[in-house]
Chain A
């Protein structure tokens, strides 16, 4: 089944690898945004089935963007997966407590990223 995914990350290399991975391995329709503010706008317009949201971004970071998504009735229903290079367990607990669907870790394996997302969202 084809899904619509929005990737929000300020790092263009990560954004492009993730988009390439999901489009190639799963035939999902992918949209990208390079900041939290742009991600909010794209989420309203694109209405993705899920959002992969980087934690550390300049300006509005991932957790702040997630809170804004939750406040907006047009995006509050969209499941969010945080993407982070932070590996400390205290960070992981903090992110999980936000109420996101899952926390994905960088570096991810481009061959299995779609499987990870599907598994986290019960799409299998």
Chain B
């Protein structure tokens, strides 16, 4: 692999990451709202579906920018929000922690 090409790509990826941060943070916000709604016993089916879709997109993209652990966490959240029959509000605390972990990873990558 040519190191000049590699370094050019890395620099260009950093610029793309900076450009897409707002979109990525919007997806995290969807997850945060859904976790908060679950915690208050008001998570709707459409909100859960939106959270599952947001987690799926985050799982696909975070590792591409080098955040492999972010992809793992997003995949776990996608599975949680895709549960047939809905989520148990008792698990809201865990989801809130997972989403907070995801946001912290993204913040530290800025």
Taking Cβ atoms with an 8 Å cutoff, the residues of A that contact B are 11-14, 16-17, 20-21, 24-25, 56, 85, 87, 106-111
State the CA gap A29–B61 with chains docked (Å).
23
Q: Which residue of A lies closest to B24 (CB)?
A: A13
Minimal beta-carbon separation of A115 from chain B (angstroms): 9
Q: Which residue of A lies closest to B64 (CB)?
A: A107
A-B contact list, 7 entries, CB within 8 Å: A11-B60, A14-B64, A17-B64, A106-B61, A107-B60, A107-B68, A109-B64
B contacts with A: majority SS: helix
1/0 contact trace for B47-59 toward A, CB 8 Å? 0000000001101
Q: Which residue of B lies closest to A83 (CB)?
A: B60
Q: Which residue of B lies closest to A108 (CB)?
A: B64
State the CA gap A84–B62 with chains docked (Å).
14
CB < 8 Å A-B pair total: 62
9 cross-chain pairs, A with B, having the tightest CB-CB distances, nearest first = A107-B63, A106-B60, A85-B60, A107-B64, A13-B20, A24-B9, A85-B59, A13-B61, A107-B71
Determine whether B1 belongs to the interface, using a CB cutoff of 8 Å to chain A: yes
B1 and A111 contact, CB distance less than 8 A = yes
Interface residues of B, CB < 8 Å — how many? 23
Q: Residues of B contacting A13 with CB < 8 Å?
A: 16, 20, 23-24, 61, 64
State the CA gap A111–B66 with chains docked (Å).
11
Q: Which residue of A lies closest to B2 (CB)?
A: A25
Q: Which residue of A lies closest to B1 (CB)?
A: A111
Minimal beta-carbon separation of A91 from chain B (angstroms): 12
Q: Which residue of B lies closest to A58 (CB)?
A: B53
Contact of B60 among A14, A16, A111 (CB under 8 A): A14
Minimal beta-carbon separation of A14 from chain B (angstroms): 6
Q: Which residue of B lies closest to A87 (CB)?
A: B75
Minimal beta-carbon separation of A89 from chain B (angstroms): 15
State the CA gap A106–B56 with chains docked (Å).
10
Given A13-B20, A107-B71, are A24 and B64 also a contact pair (CB < 8 Å)?
Answer: no
B60 and A110 contact, CB distance less than 8 A = no
Extra pairs beyond A16-B20, A107-B59, A107-B60 (17, CB < 8 Å): A11-B57, A13-B16, A13-B20, A14-B60, A14-B64, A17-B16, A21-B9, A24-B8, A24-B9, A25-B1, A25-B5, A85-B57, A87-B75, A107-B62, A107-B63, A109-B64, A110-B13
